[in-house]
Amino acid sequence: MNDAACAADVPPLPYPDGWFALCFSDELKPGAVLTTPFMGRDVVLYRTALGVACAVDAYCPHQGAHLGRGGTVEGENLVCPFHGYAYGTDGRRAGVACERGGALALRTLRVCEWNGFVFVWQHARGLEPTWALPEVDMEGFSKPIGRAYTLRGVMQNLPENGYDLEHFSALHRWRDMVPHPPVVDGPRISMRVDMKWRSVKWSTVIGVHGLGCVSSDHQMKALGLEAKIFACGVQIAPLRWTFRDGISFRFSWLSNWPSWLQHPIYAILARILHRLWLVPVFNEDIMVWSNRDYAGYGRPGAGNSPYAVFQRWARQFYSSVD
């Protein structure tokens, strides 16, 4: 992308509403304090001694110190590095009197931990959460393993990707695709697609929960393989976004093996599958996403193709657009 093209970049969409993943759960150890960019501002994440994950505005309401730069966790409180003011998980000041008078309160964000990701709720009009991420049955599946990517563009690339059927054959070289009609259920949309990868029949259900969470179920019966792939995106600046992926799976032929043997085998296979399956596919997508022209992007199309249905469904998450 040359300098002239970058200078002409104009965000095609405002920041969306919904649940968005800001880190992996295992990045946020008890006592940890992390700073992450989120929709044009910094958010501070921390985990209390009891294991509660919290998200707050980055700046102390007392005198504006950045809580992610030297802030610490003491028990269940986040402590400002400037004057030692402590804030509980509800954002209220604890323990230290304020010389300027009045009650200090730190703005908090709603947090949800979901299948190894830490999500926060965002709404342009300040509404509290109106829907929840779905429960996922992980019985017998391996622990999810994944990585994070940060790139140019808009996060809607990620959830709409599964509904852009033409790109599967052109970019990823998958074939014999048979889509079923998308099913819309408020903030959720799902679609089943049957296809072939080389000579192996493959069935997948692509579930999208808001614009920040994709959870797809994959079956390759010939290999005895079931996989769950998670892909969670977040806009961090007008044309900058991050997504985190994860893959979890189980093999039917491993189900009767003793658990002490299953765990190390799954740990090894998870890294292999992630590196040889998920990473190459996403790298092909990233090559396109990072270099596309976003002028006019996101306009709902006509017709009943899965892509057009998805685009119309996605408009509900831009409440700042009249």
Residues counted in the chain: 322
Q: Please report the beta strands in the chain, taking only residues with DSSP state E, as ranges in sequence order.
A: 18-24, 33-38, 41-47, 53-57, 72-74, 77-79, 86-87, 93-94, 108-109, 111-114, 117-122, 148-152, 175-179, 183-185, 188-197, 200-209, 214-220, 225-237, 240-251
Measured CA to CA in angstroms, residue 174 lies from 165, 196, 199 at distances of 10, 6, 10
Helix (H, G, I), strand (E, B) or coil at 179: strand
The arithmetic mean of pLDDT across residues 233-260, rounded, is 93
Residues 152 and 117 in one domain: no
> Residue 97: its pLDDT value, please?
54
> Residue 96: its pLDDT value, please?
56
**Residue 196 backbone dihedrals phi, psi, to 5 degrees:** -130, 140
CB-CB contact of 221 with 167 (8 Å): no
Residues 212 and 287 in one domain: yes
Partnered with residue 45 across adjacent β-strands are 34, 55
Copy the structure tokens of residue 189: 């949309």
Q: Is residue 6 one of the residues assigned to a domain?
A: no
Q: Is residue 254 one of the residues assigned to a domain?
A: yes
Range of the domain at 302: 148-317
Q: Is residue 274 one of the residues assigned to a domain?
A: yes
Residues 159 and 118 in one domain: no
> Residue 100: its pLDDT value, please?
55
Q: ∠ at Cα 191 (188, 196), nearest 5°?
A: 150
Residues 160 and 261 in one domain: yes
Q: Is the dihedral of CA 273, 274, 276, 282 positive or negative?
A: positive
Cβ-proximal residues to 239 (8 Å cutoff; 6+ apart), any chain: 9, 11, 152, 153, 154, 294
> Residue 4: its pLDDT value, please?
38
Read off the CATH number of the domain in which 89 is found.
2.102.10.10
Residues 118 and 153 in one domain: no
What percent of the chain lies above the pLDDT cut of 70? 94
Q: Residue 101 — very low, low, confident or very high, per pLDDT cuts 50/70/90?
A: very low
The arithmetic mean of pLDDT across residues 141-152, rounded, is 95
The DSSP symbol for 77 reads E
> Residue 296: its pLDDT value, please?
79
CB-CB contact of 257 with 235 (8 Å): no
> Residue 3: its pLDDT value, please?
40
> Residue 302: its pLDDT value, please?
77
Residues 26 and 94 in one domain: yes
- Asked whether the predicted pLDDT for residue 198 surpasses 90, the reply is no
Tell me the pLDDT of the chain averaged across its residues.
Answer: 91
The arithmetic mean of pLDDT across residues 12-32, rounded, is 97
Closest CA relative to residue 46, chosen from 149, 153, 120, 126: 120
Question: CA 68 to CA 215: how far, in whole Å?
Answer: 31
Closest CA relative to residue 71, chosen from 54, 86, 51: 86
Q: How many CB atoms lie within 10 A of CB 107?
A: 12
> Residue 177: its pLDDT value, please?
87
Residues 71 and 163 in one domain: no
CB-CB contact of 19 with 7 (8 Å): no
Question: CA 9 to CA 258: how far, in whole Å?
Answer: 55
Question: CA 242 to CA 297: how far, in whole Å?
Answer: 18
Residues 109 and 157 in one domain: no
Q: Is residue 118 one of the residues assigned to a domain?
A: yes
